[in-house]
Amino acid sequence: MGFGEAKQENMAKENDKEFLEYIVKELVDNPKDVKVDRKVDEMGVLLSLKVNPEDMGQIIGREGSTAKAIRNLVRIVGLKNHARVNLKIEEPEGGRAPRPERKEVSSDEIENISL
């Protein structure tokens, strides 16, 4: 492998990481908190994604649909570069971020709603 081929292969290796960072930063409210780690082993490439706990819902999506779509796109980028790429979405420390409090509404209040 010549110098040019090695340089081109090295650039291709980072494409998946840059692509994932770009997508995720466009989806979340806290793009500065997006961190992507890239590890290569005999199984392929593992991209580990960390986001602000408040942004987890935006990354996972309803019934995991957004996470599935991101995984599919990252795999396609990997296929173009002849690599098997997997995405691991890291759980925030301490589990999920607390949901905003929902105000309880009594049945009397519902009956007195005027339209």
Q: What's the CA angle centered on 80, arms 79 and 83, to 5 degrees?
A: 45
Cα of first residue to Cα of last residue in the chain, in angstroms, is 74
Quick one: pLDDT at residue 14?
A: 76
Residues of the chain with pLDDT under 70: 1-13, 94-115
Quick one: pLDDT at residue 42?
A: 86
DSSP β-bridge partners for residue 46? 39, 86
Q: Which domains does the chain have, with CATH numbers?
A: 3-94 (3.30.300.20)
Quick one: pLDDT at residue 87?
A: 93
Whether 26 contacts 84, CB under 8 Å: no
